[in-house]
């Protein structure tokens, strides 16, 4: 395999070979403890860590107990870094401590990039910018995966999200207890209708039993200033405890003058007694992430960044009247662009033990989102004058839009959804039976609007727009989701477990069009927005089968087979959905004959965990997994025209482009060298191939046998850790191989290697302060340049790419009291 000739990749080649069952290093407040993943015991006031040893693998360990061990964390205490679940499927977890060591305040999605089979990219060092985020797990992108927070559905993570919110908006990073990935197929009870591939589960920390608090302050490159504060009540009688926390982040983007971040508040209450656990959680998030446009390649030439020009309005006005603007083509610069999001998320969970063998879990939740994607740019961009003239025929468009020659476009989102999740678990002899259901009602609106821009009273990326000149179109969607599941875990013998079950999925979406685009205002001029109607996704039987065998007390074999289906996205014009087509006849035809995307996933593998006496090597643990996926009825939005401006967009035809076949392997291990060193390594191979050609208009697009765009064949990750007393440090690497950037594989992005460092020291003995930690981080240590997120094109000759963030430095001071 030849990744690249870049020097950083040659340096990375020294580390190629290995990945996790466990990454066995942790830091503690006041002392250092050795951690072996999955073999820690916790209560909420302290963390006890057993020394590394050849602990036996236990077949059929309850999922909830494993998750609880991974998430119950004492503020400032130690915890396992990576744990591998003992399930019939592959599942691995990154703990709270490791997330905050990678970078304090990190998006928990980005923390998962150290796991095998996970490819995460973002032009922001925290991974917070949702506009240029990409995530792939075993060949599936983020909109084809399932996401939950404490079991509550987070939707499919599309940028214009219609049924959820991102993990970093759902909970403050410092309150996340763990982040887990089931890379093949998730648990049957996962509250998701998009998980063709794996599932990602995030859990929040419970309140501490002792009263206290935490205050973190991060400083760093590009005027970074992040504050986190948390107060724990401790136990205040009858099994009650709570915390409230606040975070504020402000950081200038590294390549333009926009400031990213915002405010977020979390509160959590827990009541526990002998038979009950009641949890109430609240999240408020108000964030603005100014965006940079990607570079349209290969016509971008030597361009690496395409920043907006805010707040220099005079520069923008001169630029839009210059030859530079005309020559830039698709790579012209907007005045500003931003994603504005405000979210409220609340849930109540009740766990009740009817008896030792009969248990019940029920959750009620509600989520409200008010979002706006905003772009301010020139009214002369190709395609815009014709569109505006449809609304203002014969008028001077510059005067109409405020005299500046700039217009503001928004895509506005309103989302109100709520639901209930309930699961009943019954242990009968050697059988563990689970019956569960999930219902959600989602009312979602998406609107495209245009606003004037006055040079004498200019708006900013942080303003909400008012009084639109053009209400181009508005889509309302009303979705009812019903899922049920039934499964049986049968402990056939002490060392052998079988499970079988099925999931039923029924999703009914009614899409309406209270505001439609006027004739001639879309691209092409003959396109219209569609009134729509109701389409359902009904799959009453989605089976799952698994097996788990303890070959020895140190080695374990697992296997899983599962079918999944992805319900249609509730989005309109320009999207790969039935409501995105441009005639009612096409909608009705798809309603009669269209098929939802579906997949069959097969995975099997071996795990080991052994204490050894081989020179300095004292413990080795690892996992080897093979997987095969058949993905059917892949839906693609094929543009009706080649648009000349991304701000205009184009009508699309919803096309079933056939199937994809994926085969791959993940190999991961952790080697422990005494009490002071460990090395974790993950090597992954993925081969995802289109099986069919498809037709757009009268043209055959030859994709059969081509690699799936944006999915690298090889990835390699490692973490080298050391700790001595109160000091700890890590050297982290992430190597991503070549990615094809078009469906026909005629263009590609080169491989890259990113390295980072973190080091921290815990200071104890300060009056009234339990622990004071000072931590430094360096991201992109070698200042590697290359493309992070890729927007692949379904035609030949063009794609859009976003840059890798440069080297940055951060210092965090964290105190617990």
Q: How confident is the model at residue 81 (pLDDT cuts 50, 70, 90)?
A: low
C-alpha count within 13 angstroms, C-beta hemisphere, residue 609: 26
Tokens describing residue 246: 């606040």
Q: What is the CATH number of the domain that holds 629?
A: 2.40.170.20
Query: What is the pLDDT confidence band of residue 573, given thresholds at 50, 70 and 90?
Result: confident
Q: What is the pLDDT of residues 370-423, one digit of tens each?
A: 999 999 999 999 889 999 999 999 999 999 999 999 999 999 999 999 999 999
DSSP annotation string for 674-693: TTTEEEEEEEEEEEEEE---
Which two tokens mark 21? 């069952």
pLDDT per position as a tens digit, 615-630: 999 999 999 999 999 9
Res 77: pLDDT: 36
The tens digit of pLDDT for each residue in 733-752 reads 999 999 999 999 999 999 99
pLDDT average, residue stretch 22-29 = 33
User: Tokens 């603007």 — which residue?
Assistant: 325
Q: Is the pLDDT of residue 517 over 60?
A: yes
User: How far is 177 from 694, CA to CA, in rounded Å?
Assistant: 45
Which pLDDT band, with edges at 50, 70 and 90, does 85 fall under? confident
Q: Where are the beta strands (DSSP E) in 50-130?
A: 82-84, 91-95, 118-121
Lowest mean pLDDT among 453-467, 641-655, 685-699: 641-655
Residue 299 is predicted with a pLDDT of: 85
Domain membership of residue 437 (yes or no) is yes
Give the model's confidence band at 634: pLDDT under 50 very low, under 70 low, under 90 confident, else very high: very high
What's the mean per-residue pLDDT of the chain? Answer: 89
- State the pairing for strand pair 46-49/40-43: antiparallel
Helix segments in 103-139, DSSP class H: 108-111
DSSP character at residue 173: G
Distance CA 395, CA 389 (A): 8
| Residue 635 pLDDT level (bands cut at 50, 70, 90) | very high
pLDDT tens column, 481-495: 999 999 999 999 999
More reliable by pLDDT, 645 or 597: 597
| Backbone phi and psi for residue 587, each to the nearest 5 degrees, phi listed first | -60, -50
Domain presence at residue 2: no
Beta strand extents in 291-357 (DSSP E only): 295-297, 336-353
For residue 67, is pLDDT > 50? no
E strand spans, 152-273: 152-153, 176-182, 199-204, 212-220, 224-232, 240-252, 259-272
Sign of dihedral through CA atoms 375, 379, 382, 388?
A: positive
Distance CA 692, CA 701 (A): 9
Question: Could you tell me the two tokens for 682?
Answer: 């993950």
pLDDT of residue 582: 86
The enclosing H or E element of 13 equals helix 7-13
Give the pLDDT confidence score for residue 640 in this predicted structure.
61
The CA distances from residue 492 to 59, 378, 488, 489, in Å, are 10, 68, 12, 9
Range of the domain at 788: 7-196+204-816
Of the candidates 113, 118, 110, the one whose C-alpha atom is nearest the C-alpha of residue 138 is: 118
- For 90-148, write each residue's pLDDT tens digit: 999 999 999 999 999 999 999 999 999 999 999 999 999 999 999 999 999 999 999 99
Q: Note the pLDDT of residue 590.
A: 93
Number of domains in the chain: 1
Q: Does the structure show a pLDDT above 50 at 220?
A: yes
Higher pLDDT, 587 or 574: 587
What's the confidence (pLDDT) of residue 76? Answer: 36
For the chain, the straight-line distance linking the first and the last C-alpha, in angstroms and rounded, comes to 51
Q: Is pLDDT at 63 greater than 50 in this prediction? A: no
C-alpha gyration radius of the chain: 26
Average pLDDT of span 218-225: 97
Assigned token pair, 779: 């991201």
Q: Which of 238, 241, 176, 237 lies closest to 210 in space, CA to CA?
A: 241
Q: What is the pLDDT of residue 74?
A: 33
Tell me how far apart the alpha carbons of residues 778 and 730 are, in angstroms, rounded to a whole number: 11
Tell me which residue of 673, 682, 734 sits closest to 18, measured CA to CA: 682
Lowest mean pLDDT segment, chosen from 48-52, 141-145, 302-306: 48-52
SS3 at position 438: strand
pLDDT at position 51, please?
31
A 10 A CB-CB count for 627 gives 25
Domain membership flag for residue 1: no
Task: Give the pLDDT of residue 736.
Answer: 98
13, pLDDT greater than 50: no
Predicted confidence band at 527 (pLDDT cuts at 50, 70, 90)? confident
């Amino acid at each position: 395999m030849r990744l690249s000739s870049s020097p950083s990749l040659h340096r990375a080649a020294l580390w190629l070979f290995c990945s996790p069952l466990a990454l066995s290093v942790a830091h503690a407040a006041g002392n250092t403890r050795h951690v072996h993943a999955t073999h820690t015991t916790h209560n909420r006031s302290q963390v006890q860590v057993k020394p590394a040893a050849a602990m036996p693998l236990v077949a059929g360990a309850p999922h909830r107990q494993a998750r609880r061990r991974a998430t119950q964390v004492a503020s400032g205490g130690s915890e396992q870094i990576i744990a591998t679940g003992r399930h019939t499927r592959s599942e691995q977890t990154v703990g709270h401590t490791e997330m905050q060591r990678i970078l304090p305040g990190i998006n928990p999605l980005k923390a998962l990039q150290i796991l095998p089979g996970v490819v995460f990219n973002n032009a922001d060092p925290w991974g917070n910018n949702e506009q240029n985020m990409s995530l792939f797990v075993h060949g599936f992108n983020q909109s084809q995966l399932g996401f939950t927070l404490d079991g509550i559905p987070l939707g499919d993570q599309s940028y214009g999200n219609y049924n959820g919110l991102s993990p970093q908006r759902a909970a403050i990073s410092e309150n996340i207890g763990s982040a887990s990935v089931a890379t093949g197929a998730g648990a049957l009870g996962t509250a998701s209708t998009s998980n063709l591939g794996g599932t990602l589960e995030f859990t929040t920390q419970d309140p501490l039993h002792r009263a206290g608090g935490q205050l973190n302050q991060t400083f760093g490159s590009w005027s970074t200033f992040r504050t986190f504060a948390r107060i724990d009540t401790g136990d205040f009688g009858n099994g009650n405890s709570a915390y409230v926390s606040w975070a504020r982040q402000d950081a200038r983007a590294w390549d333009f003058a926009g400031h990213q971040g915002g405010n977020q508040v979390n509160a959590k209450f827990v009541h526990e007694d002998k038979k009950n656990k009641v949890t109430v959680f609240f999240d408020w998030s108000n964030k603005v992430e100014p965006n940079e446009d990607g570079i349209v390649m290969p016509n971008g030439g030597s361009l690496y960044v395409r920043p907006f020009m805010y707040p220099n309005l005079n520069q923008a006005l001169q630029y839009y009247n210059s030859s530079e603007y005309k020559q830039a083509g698709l790579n012209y610069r907007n005045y500003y662009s931003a994603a504005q999001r405000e979210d409220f998320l609340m849930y109540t969970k009740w766990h009740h033990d009817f008896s030792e063998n009969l248990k019940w879990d029920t959750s009620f939740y509600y989520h409200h989102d008010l979002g706006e994607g905003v772009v301010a740019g020139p009214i002369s961009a190709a395609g815009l004058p014709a569109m505006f003239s449809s609304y203002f025929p014969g008028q001077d468009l510059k005067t109409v839009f405020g005299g500046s020659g700039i217009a503001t476009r928004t895509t506005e989102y309103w989302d109100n959804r709520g639901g209930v999740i309930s699961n009943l678990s019954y242990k009968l002899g050697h059988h563990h039976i689970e019956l569960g259901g999930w219902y959600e009602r989602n009312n979602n609106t998406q609107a495209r609007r245009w606003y004037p821009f006055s040079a004498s009273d200019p708006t900013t990326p942080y303003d909400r727009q008012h009084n639109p000149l053009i209400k181009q179109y508005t889509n309302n969607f009303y979705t009812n989701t019903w899922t049920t599941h039934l499964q049986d875990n049968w402990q056939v013998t002490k060392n052998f477990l079988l499970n079988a079950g099925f999931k039923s999925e029924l999703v009914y979406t009614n899409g309406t069009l209270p505001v439609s685009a006027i004739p001639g205002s879309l691209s092409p001029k003959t396109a219209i927005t569609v009134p729509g109607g109701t389409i359902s996704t009904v799959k009453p039987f989605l089976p799952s089968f698994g097996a788990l065998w303890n070959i020895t007390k140190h080695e374990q074999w697992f296997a899983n087979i599962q079918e999944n289906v992805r319900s249609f996205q509730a989005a309109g014009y320009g999207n790969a959905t039935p409501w995105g087509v441009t005639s009612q006849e096409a909608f009705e035809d798809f309603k009669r004959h269209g098929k939802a995307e579906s997949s069959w996933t097969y995975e099997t593998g071996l795990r080991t965990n052994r204490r050894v006496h081989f020179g300095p090597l004292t413990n080795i643990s690892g996992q080897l997994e093979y997987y095969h996926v058949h993905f059917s009825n892949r839906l693609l939005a094929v543009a009706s025209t080649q648009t000349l401006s991304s701000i205009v967009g184009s009508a699309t035809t919803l096309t079933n482009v056939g199937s994809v076949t994926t085969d791959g392997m993940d190999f991961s291990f952790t080697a422990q060298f005494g009490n002071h060193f460990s090395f974790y390594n993950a090597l992954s191979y993925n081969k995802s191939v289109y099986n069919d050609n498809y037709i757009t208009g009268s043209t055959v697009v030859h994709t059969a046998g081509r690699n799936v765009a944006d999915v690298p064949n090889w990835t390699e990750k490692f973490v080298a850790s050391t700790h001595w007393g109160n000091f700890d440090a890590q050297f982290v690497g992430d190597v991503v191989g070549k990615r094809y950037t078009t469906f026909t594989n005629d263009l590609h992005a080169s491989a890259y290697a990113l390295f980072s460092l973190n080091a921290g020291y815990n200071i104890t003995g300060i009056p009234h302060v339990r622990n004071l930690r000072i931590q430094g981080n360096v991201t992109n240590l070698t200042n590697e340049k290359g493309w992070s997120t890729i927007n692949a094109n379904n035609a030949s000759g063009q794609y859009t790419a976003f840059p890798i963030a440069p080297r940055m430095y951060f210092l965090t001071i964290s105190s617990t009291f």
